[in-house]
Amino acid sequence: MYLSKEYKAGIFAEFAGDAKNTGSAEGQVALFTKRIAHLTEHLKQNRKDFGTQLALQKLVGKRRSLLAYLYKKDVERYRAIIKALQLRDIIK
């Protein structure tokens, strides 16, 4: 896979606080964001790759549901991850 174990551990260490905390919502959102960016670049060159397009749509849905969970659970954590990943210009 294009994301090595060390790279994933670095993402979780940066956003989740610990490399072994792979279940945190912030870490998962960060990992999904990196994967979404990678798939988006792939689809710019391969427009008819509908399998990848479906996978991208599913990832965006998963990230959106995790962000909705964070927003309901703790708005400050939501705002921090949005700001760190630069997902939106306007923060709720």
Phi then psi for 46, rounded to 5 degrees?
-125, 80
The alpha carbon dihedral of 21, 27, 28, 34 has a sign of negative
**pLDDT of the chain, 92 residues: tens digit per residue:** 578 889 989 999 999 888 888 889 999 999 999 999 999 999 999 999 999 999 999 999 999 999 999 999 999 999 999 999 999 876 55
Q: What DSSP element (H or E) covers 5?
A: helix 5-15
Where along the chain do its domains lie? 5-85
pTM over 0.85: yes
Superfamily covering domain 5-85: S15/NS1, RNA-binding (1.10.287.10)
Whole-angstrom Cα distance, residue 48 to residue 57?
15
What is the reported pLDDT for 1?
58
What is the reported pLDDT for 3?
81
The alpha carbon dihedral of 2, 61, 13, 86 has a sign of positive
Burial class (CB in 10 A: 0-12, 13-18, 19+), 13: middle
